[in-house]
């Protein structure tokens, strides 16, 4: 069983804290995605798990074994690099077999394992080619092949799709998901692309500034973000944030003034909120509709309009001076410059306090 536990893991470069005490418990067979903006420390954290980066303090265990001071080869991990890191002077076969050759496995077994990996990854016909003779997608598959032949407890992927074009990325993403289902191994995957994170992960760890902002199932992060950062990072297009004030509060509701229009009552922890407190209302663009005669929550003119086919993406400059984006039905008749009314269900609203924490019940 390859459970992976990180306990108060820190990394400092001089006086700068890159990873600021991370705790994560990853179960055997889980597909975990580390996601976050550039510089959030996600790749550093992955490299610390791999043993390519020393940890400044804390503890990492793989399968119950503390691996802090073990070199990469003794951690039972395999890693797929962003650059693929294929050895240019070796054939595909030798690249895939590299780890097994180093381990001194018998030639027969190596050949069998390489053939098996090549079959799974559809590389059979390419085994005698050099990496320079392969396309980006094929190189990526060789890098994955090099990882799977070693049968590690934990697979580590460092932004493996970022060098591929959009179409290939979708295909390879599906292949990695299938690989995870077939192998049932623990996989940790680093990306800055939240679509990859949402589609691949059993659980996502959203990192920012060296800390985990939230760790949970993709739809939990989407539906119940713990803070403004996660709310803004997960979901595309990005969630709208509108500054509001609490008009009245109860233990489990907060009534807001939304731009001076109709008061909006949202289910939220109101116990510690005083009337008049400034809060942030979050609403996802896909939860906003055109009001069509009903009392709109916001009104304004359309300043940006992108027709996506089944949906239209609009940006509305509201009378309250905010910018609200919405993903509305593709059949709606809106034009650039039109004044439109926007509405949404209070149950879809998120409320955040002045510390950017969610007031979800």
Partner 1 sequence: MTTKSERLLLLIVALVVVAFVLAPLFLMFATALKPDENQILRDLGNAHAFWINPSDISFKNFEAVLANKTFPILRYMLNSGIIVVSIVTIGIFVNSLAAFALARMQFTGRNLVIAFIVALIIIPMESVAIPLLLMMSAIGWVDTYKAQIIPFIAHPFSIFLFYQFFAAIPKDLDEAAYVAGASKLRTYWTIIMPLSLPTIATVAILQSLEYWNAYLWPLMVTRGSDARPVSLALAQFFSTPPPVWGNLMAFSVLMSLPILIVYFAFQRWFIQSTIGSGIKG
Q: List residues binding partner 1 (CB under 8 A).
A: 50-52, 71-73, 77-79, 81-83, 85-89, 98-99, 102-103, 146, 150
- Which C-beta is closer to partner 1: that of 86 or that of 204? 86
Cβ 52 to partner 1 shortest distance, Å: 5
Which residue's structure tokens are 């990005």?
A: 238
Instruction: Tell the burial category of 324 from Cβ atoms under 10 Å away from its Cβ (0-12, 13-18, 19+).
Output: buried
- Which C-beta is closer to partner 1: that of 43 or that of 318? 43
Question: C-alpha distances in angstroms, 30 versus 9, 13, 94, 180, 360?
Answer: 20, 30, 30, 9, 27
Which residue's structure tokens are 């920012």?
A: 208
- Which C-beta is closer to partner 1: that of 86 or that of 258? 86
Cβ 151 to partner 1 shortest distance, Å: 13
- Cα distance between residue 175 and residue 190, in whole Å: 16
- Which C-beta is closer to partner 1: that of 53 or that of 175? 53
Cβ 185 to partner 1 shortest distance, Å: 15
- Which C-beta is closer to partner 1: that of 52 or that of 177? 52
Cβ 79 to partner 1 shortest distance, Å: 5
- Residue 181 CB neighbours (<10 A): 9
Cβ 81 to partner 1 shortest distance, Å: 5
Which residue's structure tokens are 């990180």?
A: 6
Closest-CA residue to 82 (of 146, 182, 159): 159
17 φ/ψ angles, rounded to the nearest 5 degrees: -85, 120
- Which C-beta is closer to partner 1: that of 99 or that of 218? 99
Cβ 29 to partner 1 shortest distance, Å: 21
Cβ 186 to partner 1 shortest distance, Å: 16
Which residue's structure tokens are 């809106």?
A: 334
- Which C-beta is closer to partner 1: that of 158 or that of 259? 158
Cβ 102 to partner 1 shortest distance, Å: 4
Half-sphere exposure of 157 (CA within 13 A, CB side): 33
- Which C-beta is closer to partner 1: that of 45 or that of 79? 79
For the chain, the farthest-separated pair of C-alpha atoms sits apart, in whole angstroms, at 76
Instruction: Tell the burial category of 253 from Cβ atoms under 10 Å away from its Cβ (0-12, 13-18, 19+).
Output: middle
- Cα distance between residue 92 and residue 127, in whole Å: 5
């Amino acid at each position: 069983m390859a459970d992976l536990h990180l306990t108060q893991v820190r990394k400092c470069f001089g006086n700068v804290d890159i990873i600021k005490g991370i705790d994560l418990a990853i179960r055997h067979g889980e597909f975990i995605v580390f996601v976050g903006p550039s510089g959030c420390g996600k790749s550093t954290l992955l490299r610390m798990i791999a043993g390519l980066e020393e940890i400044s303090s804390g503890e990492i265990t793989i399968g119950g074994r503390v691996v802090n001071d073990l070199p990469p080869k003794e951690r039972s991990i395999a890693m797929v690099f962003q650059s693929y890191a294929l050895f240019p002077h070796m054939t595909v076969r030798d690249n895939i077999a590299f780890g097994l050759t180093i381990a001194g496995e018998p030639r027969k077994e190596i050949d069998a394992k390489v053939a098996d990996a090549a079959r799974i990854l559809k590389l059979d016909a390419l085994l005698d080619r050099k990496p320079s003779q392969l396309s980006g997608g094929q190189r990526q598959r060789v890098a994955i092949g090099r990882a799977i032949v070693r049968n590690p407890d934990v697979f580590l992927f460092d932004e493996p799709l970022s060098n591929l074009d959009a179409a290939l990325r979708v295909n390879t993403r599906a292949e990695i998901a299938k690989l995870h289902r077939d192998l049932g191994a623990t996989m940790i995957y680093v990306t800055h692309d939240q679509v990859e994170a949402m589609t691949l992960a059993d659980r996502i760890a959203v990192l920012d500034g060296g800390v985990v902002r939230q760790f949970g199932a993709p739809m939990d992060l989407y539906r119940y973000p713990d803070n403004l950062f996660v709310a803004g990072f997960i979901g595309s297009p990005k969630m709208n944030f509108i500054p509001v004030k609490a008009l009245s509060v109860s233990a489990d509701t907060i009534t807001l003034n939304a731009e001076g229009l109709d008061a909006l009552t949202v289910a939220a922890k109101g116990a510690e909120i005083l009337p008049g407190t400034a809060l942030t209302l979050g609403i996802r663009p896909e939860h906003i509709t055109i009001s069509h005669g009903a009392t709109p929550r916001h009104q304004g003119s359309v300043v940006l309009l992108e027709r996506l086919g089944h949906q239209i993406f609009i940006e509305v400059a509201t009378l309250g001076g905010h910018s609200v984006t919405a993903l509305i039905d593709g059949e709606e008749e809106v034009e650039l410059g039109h004044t439109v009314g926007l509405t949404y269900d209070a149950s879809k609203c998120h409320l955040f306090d002045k510390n950017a924490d969610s007031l979800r019940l």
